[in-house]
Structure 1
Amino acid sequence: MTDPARPTTIRHRIIGVTMLMAFILYLDRICMGEIVKSMSFNNDLALSQEQIGRILSAFFFTYALFQVPAGWASDRFGARPMLTLYIVLWSLCTMLTGFMTGFAGLLIARLLCGIAESGAYPTSMALVRKWIPLTGRARASGMVALGGRIGGTLAPFLTIWMIVTMGNWRTSLWIDGAVGLIIALVFWKTVRSNPQEHPQVNTAELALIGRPEIEKPLSARELKSALWSFSKSTSLWCNSAAQMLQNIGWGFLVTWLPTYLVKERGVGEIEGGKMLTYVLAFGMAGQIAGGYYCDWATRRFGLRAGRLLPMTSSMFVCAAAYICCPFVESTWMLVACCAVVSFCTDLANPAVWSFMGDVGGRATAAAGGWGNMWGNFGASAGALLVPWLMKIGGGDGKTLVFFTLAGAFVLAGLIILPMDATKKLIPDETIAPNPIPS
């Protein structure tokens, strides 16, 4: 028996299992980048580099395009059924990838995987909003994103280890998919779309969360109004533009930094991989610190300034770190500068996520999908921008790249200033009061 006067802690379980979801999300997303480099894959399938590039980029194309529709489905039908469905679908697509024997099949499988994964983070934003009090949402958002960062950091090692151990690239995908199906089952058993629906939540925890009633689902007709509100919102456009510019800057770390270390700094491939792991590990710390930073700033300065301060300050520090990169002779000092970029980028992320819950209301997942869509377009553009800058910059191409990345962060820090988290895009509307579970 629990003390009815003491809040239960079901909300912490919700965040924990959502972190687990984010872990397998990133593991399944990044594994193909390692698989296509393996001897097992290349001996099995004779694909050109152009074909491999199309397979790798296919995921992000559908992932970006389906952010808003997948987010709305969660707003309409509930986070629990939809995110469970998304996990099942992308896990099956991951397993399906392991059965493909040619370029066309692999391309289709990755396109489908991108569609299935597109609703994961927007739905997570809606879960955080419904289950976590306002002053704790940034920390919760940071923890969910941390799960993804851990998955992304461990994905190269775990994928290669499975390929070497099992002797086949296909087996690694089947294992990843099977683990995803298990996580989907755990998610379904643990999560409810609304705190009021969970049989183990007591009255004290409901009062702490501050949601005595269930919100009205967002209908298809209301989605049209929501999209019109998104398109007219200065705050949401500022946030979306900042995410796009931020990902142009951060994307360099996971796309071109390994190549830069090997070709320009003379680092071995294995050593370069270790350096990248160190850089991304600082991002994990940034997610945790950013949650506490944003929640503290919100309590200290109010909702509007509390969301802005972590974002703007982080962007300017990232810019300063990139400006230093062309002038440091030590490779480890360069890695340190990139680690600062990784840390401060993720320091801002909890505030970015929390903002979506602040303004999105009943359309939080759709609003989160809107912003995440533009962010992914930025990451894609950044990957294309770097080689173009190197080409037009000639001998000073490397300096031009780092200065451009710094400029993207400066612009992100400035463009976000008009953002106001106190202005909701969708009015609150609840269903009749729901009986509180005992």
Structure 2
Amino acid sequence: MNAIVKKAWGYRHIVLVVLWLLYIINYFDRLAVLTFLPFIQKDLNLTPVELGQLASVFFFAYSLAQVTAGFLADKFGPKRIMNIAIIVFTLVTALTGAVKSFGQFLALRIGLGLGEGHHFAPACRTINNWFPIAERGRSVSFFATSWAVAPAIVPVLITSISFYFFDGSWRPVFYLLAIPGLIGIWALWYFITNTPKEMLEKGRLSQEEYAHIMDANSASSVEEQASAEKKADKKSNRIFLQDGYFYVYTVLLFCQCAVYWGTTTWLTTFLVQQHGLNLKEMGFFASAPYIVAFFAMMLGGWLMDKVMHRMKPVALIAYIGCIPVLYLLGSVEKGQTGLLLLMLLLAGFFVNLNFGTIYAYIQKRYPTEVVGGATGLANGIGQMGSFVSPLVAGYLVVVQADGSQDFSRVFLFFSLTAAVAAVCAMILKESKVKAAETGVREEAEQAV
């Protein structure tokens, strides 16, 4: 009985919770900009197109960083790369409070994208190292709830801080956000190691839990795989580079990111400009979709691990649900706050249902030694959807004669993007990649 308890809960879960908290800090920094975007727009006298450019340039830098982050995590260890990432985005966030012009803001958005972009792939690699294959769907889904929890609390929290402590000013909030960044740097140093073996040697991981993590992975241990990785040549990356389904997956991820970050980027501006909400009201409505998102992500992980054992059915439910909901959200008329809230909650559910399980796909399909590189490359390409979507949306906003803005075409665009994601999900193959499919797996094993 005691052994079962230790398997159910152990130090690996402390690692997961710390990674989760670190990513919430990551999201605090980027979401603070998006939350105050309509007010930054007013202060800096920006057009909707310029606003879209500022939102998109972050994701352009973020996407490029995703590619290098995965390979750097594989080469130098995920902890070191995450540490550099947190230092960079904490510094840039503090500087954002002093921005005075479009050009300065543009430069800081690029810096923030490069910093935050080097955080995700190393975090996924750490989860891959610390959790057995059978637990990865749920562990990645729990980690993914960080980008549901953060948007659920950030708008309410920072708009309240701005309203009650800084007379509605957004600038001091960014200085304040340096504090959680410093706490995150310490937490990473103290609680996280690259592999379970390092923590075992420190005496903070039990031999029983270590054996559970290693034995449950039917292949060799994380440390043995890392040793094999050093001996194998670059041909090992061809395992995913020559897999056609990898590219279908990246298109699906592109669409997922386009829908999520398109809606997240423009949500506060949509609420203020199309529905006329004030600072306090906007914070509440902007948080609503992400309260539901937390439960949607956890449900998606549970369905994948315990019921369907695949990502595809979860993805189809999510994307098919998004198609009508996103279209109707953009069509809600001003003053219909009850219907607006309902559509926001439904959007939060369907947009996020597959957002945890989608990242477990690579961990289930490819060998451990290439997970970091495959995750980084896929997310780098996929995050280009985060770059394209806010930019396109900026051109689709219709400025009315009275100065108000209409977002109906924007949400139609998001709906059509979800339809493309549904098609990709139907095509995708999820079984473990085999030597015959790529012709390189055996070569990599023979090189070892």
The question of a shared fold, defined as TM-score above 0.5 by the shorter chain, is answered with yes
User: Structure 1 residues 110 and 189 mapped into 2: Cα distance closer, same or farther (>3 Å)?
Assistant: same
1:360-412 C-alpha deviation (Å, 9 max, x unpaired): 42222222222222332223322233455566xxxxx9766555433322321
Match of 1:410 in 2: 419
Structure 1 stretches of at least 4 aligned residues deviating more than 6 Å after TM superposition: 2-5, 326-329
- Say which is worse superposed, 344-353 or 207-216, in terms of deviation: 207-216
Q: Report the CA distance between 1:241 and its aligned residue.
A: 0.8
Aligned length: 413
Letter of the aligned partner of 1:148 in structure 2? Answer: W
Match of 1:357 in 2: 363
Match of 1:366 in 2: 373
SS in 1 for 2:431: coil
User: Structure 1 residues 220 and 166 mapped into 2: Cα distance closer, same or farther (>3 Å)?
Assistant: farther
User: Structure 1 residues 251 and 102 mapped into 2: Cα distance closer, same or farther (>3 Å)?
Assistant: closer
Q: Report the CA distance between 1:187 and its aligned residue.
A: 1.4
Match of 2:287 in 1: 277
User: Structure 1 residues 223 and 115 mapped into 2: Cα distance closer, same or farther (>3 Å)?
Assistant: farther
User: Structure 1 residues 254 and 127 mapped into 2: Cα distance closer, same or farther (>3 Å)?
Assistant: same
Q: Report the CA distance between 1:146 and its aligned residue.
A: 1.5
User: Structure 1 residues 220 and 162 mapped into 2: Cα distance closer, same or farther (>3 Å)?
Assistant: farther
Q: CA RMSD in A?
A: 3.6
- Say which is worse superposed, 107-116 or 309-318, in terms of deviation: 107-116
Match of 1:436 in 2: none
Letter of the aligned partner of 2:89 in structure 1? Answer: W
Q: Residue 315 of structure 1 contacts residue 410 of structure 1 at CA under 8 Å; is this kept in 2?
A: yes
What stretches of structure 2 of length at least 5 have no aligned partner? Answer: 399-405
Tell me how far apart the structure 2 counterparts of residues 401 and 269 of structure 1 sit (CA, whole Å).
22
Matches within 5 A, 1:170-185: 171-185=172-186
Tell me how far apart the structure 2 counterparts of residues 258 and 178 of structure 1 sit (CA, whole Å).
25
Tell me how far apart the structure 2 counterparts of residues 310 and 4 of structure 1 sit (CA, whole Å).
29
Match of 2:346 in 1: 340
Tell me how far apart the structure 2 counterparts of residues 399 and 94 of structure 1 sit (CA, whole Å).
32
Tell me how far apart the structure 2 counterparts of residues 253 and 5 of structure 1 sit (CA, whole Å).
41
Tell me how far apart the structure 1 counterparts of residues 283 and 32 of structure 2 sit (CA, whole Å).
15
Match of 1:246 in 2: 256
What stretches of structure 1 of length at least 5 have no aligned partner? Answer: 392-396, 431-438
Q: Residue 53 of structure 2 contacts residue 391 of structure 2 at CA under 8 Å; is this kept in 1?
A: no
Tell me how far apart the structure 1 counterparts of residues 441 and 254 of structure 2 sit (CA, whole Å).
27
- Say which is worse superposed, 231-240 or 163-172, in terms of deviation: 163-172
- Say which is worse superposed, 377-386 or 342-351, in terms of deviation: 377-386
Q: Report the CA distance between 1:414 and its aligned residue.
A: 2.0
Q: Residue 289 of structure 1 contacts residue 347 of structure 1 at CA under 8 Å; is this kept in 2?
A: yes
Q: Residue 250 of structure 1 contacts residue 341 of structure 1 at CA under 8 Å; is this kept in 2?
A: no
Tell me how far apart the structure 2 counterparts of residues 323 and 154 of structure 1 sit (CA, whole Å).
25
Match of 2:46 in 1: 49
> How does the TM-score come out when normalised to structure 1?
0.81
User: Structure 1 residues 110 and 321 mapped into 2: Cα distance closer, same or farther (>3 Å)?
Assistant: closer
Matches within 5 A, 1:35-46: 42=43
User: Structure 1 residues 231 and 288 mapped into 2: Cα distance closer, same or farther (>3 Å)?
Assistant: same
Q: Report the CA distance between 1:334 and its aligned residue.
A: 4.2
User: Structure 1 residues 174 and 265 mapped into 2: Cα distance closer, same or farther (>3 Å)?
Assistant: closer
Identity of aligned residues (%): 21
Tell me how far apart the structure 2 counterparts of residues 140 and 399 of structure 1 sit (CA, whole Å).
37
Q: Report the CA distance between 1:125 and its aligned residue.
A: 1.6
Letter of the aligned partner of 1:198 in structure 2? Answer: M
Match of 1:310 in 2: 314
Q: Residue 32 of structure 2 contacts residue 158 of structure 2 at CA under 8 Å; is this kept in 1?
A: yes
Tell me how far apart the structure 2 counterparts of residues 220 and 102 of structure 1 sit (CA, whole Å).
50
Q: Residue 140 of structure 2 contacts residue 356 of structure 2 at CA under 8 Å; is this kept in 1?
A: yes
Q: Residue 55 of structure 2 contacts residue 390 of structure 2 at CA under 8 Å; is this kept in 1?
A: no
Matches within 5 A, 1:12-411: 12-34=13-35, 42=43, 47-49=44-46, 54-98=53-97, 104-163=103-162, 165=165, 171-199=172-200, 200-209=204-213, 210-211=216-217, 212-214=221-223, 215-216=225-226, 222=233, 226=237, 228-262=238-272, 264=274, 270-297=280-307, 301-302=308-309, 306-322=310-326, 324-325=328-329, 330-360=336-366, 361-386=368-393, 388=395, 402-411=411-420
Q: Report the CA distance between 1:307 and its aligned residue.
A: 2.0
Tell me how far apart the structure 2 counterparts of residues 185 and 358 of structure 1 sit (CA, whole Å).
32
1:92-143 C-alpha deviation (Å, 9 max, x unpaired): 2323444666555443333222111112121222122221222221221122
Q: Report the CA distance between 1:67 and its aligned residue.
A: 0.6
SS in 1 for 2:67: helix
User: Structure 1 residues 342 and 77 mapped into 2: Cα distance closer, same or farther (>3 Å)?
Assistant: same
Letter of the aligned partner of 1:410 in structure 2? Answer: A
Q: Report the CA distance between 1:327 and its aligned residue.
A: 7.4
Letter of the aligned partner of 1:13 in structure 2? Answer: I
Tell me how far apart the structure 1 counterparts of residues 101 and 110 of structure 2 sit (CA, whole Å).
15
Q: Report the CA distance between 1:180 and its aligned residue.
A: 1.0
SS in 2 for 1:423: coil
Q: Residue 63 of structure 2 contacts residue 379 of structure 2 at CA under 8 Å; is this kept in 1?
A: yes
